[in-house]
């Protein structure tokens, strides 16, 4: 069963771009890790959302994830309330929601149009 983890962060003032850049350069190689997204949720707040093959994969990767967190710790601000610098939650997926077919088609068409424009722009720059 697929599992997800979500970790909430608040970065120190002026450290937003460093935090984003650090995540862009990460290449997580955790066994069972499928994908991840960093979401800006506010002025200096972010959530990392990870998708995993199963909950056991999350549990097994925790020491490595803490190692990655340690590399970012100086960019993070304490969340208060005894949480420290992160507010993590994780669990098994119990419902998967999908967009209606028409919305998926529209998004796919829009994405394909952006790729064509991007490729055309690259050709002109060469």
Query: Looking at residue 126, what is its pLDDT?
Result: 44
Is pLDDT at 32 greater than 60 in this prediction?
A: yes
Q: Vertex 107, ends 102 and 113: CA angle to 5°? A: 130
pLDDT digits (tens, 9 = 90+) for 95-115: 999 878 877 778 788 777 766
Question: Model-level pTM?
Answer: 0.76
The whole-angstrom separation of Cα 52 and Cα 32 is 6
The answer to whether 88 and 4 have CB atoms below 8 angstroms apart is no
Mean pLDDT of 78-106: 90
Give the residue-averaged pLDDT of 19-28: 92
Give me Rg for the CA atoms of the chain.
18
pLDDT in tens, 33-76: 999 999 999 999 999 999 999 999 999 999 999 999 999 999 99
């Amino acid at each position: 069963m697929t599992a997800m983890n979500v970790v909430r962060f608040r970065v120190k003032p002026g450290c937003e771009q460093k935090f984003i850049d650090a995540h862009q350069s990460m290449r997580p190689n955790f066994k069972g890790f499928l994908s991840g997204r960093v979401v800006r949720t506010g002025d200096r707040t972010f959530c990392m959302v990870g998708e995993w093959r199963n909950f056991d994969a999350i549990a097994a990767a925790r020491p490595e994830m803490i190692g990655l967190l340690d590399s970012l710790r100086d960019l993070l601000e304490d969340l208060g309330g005894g949480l420290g610098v992160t507010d993590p939650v994780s669990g098994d997926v119990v419902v998967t929601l999908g967009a209606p077919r028409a919305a998926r088609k529209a998004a796919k068409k829009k994405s394909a149009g952006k790729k064509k424009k991007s490729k055309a722009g690259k050709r002109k720059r060469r």
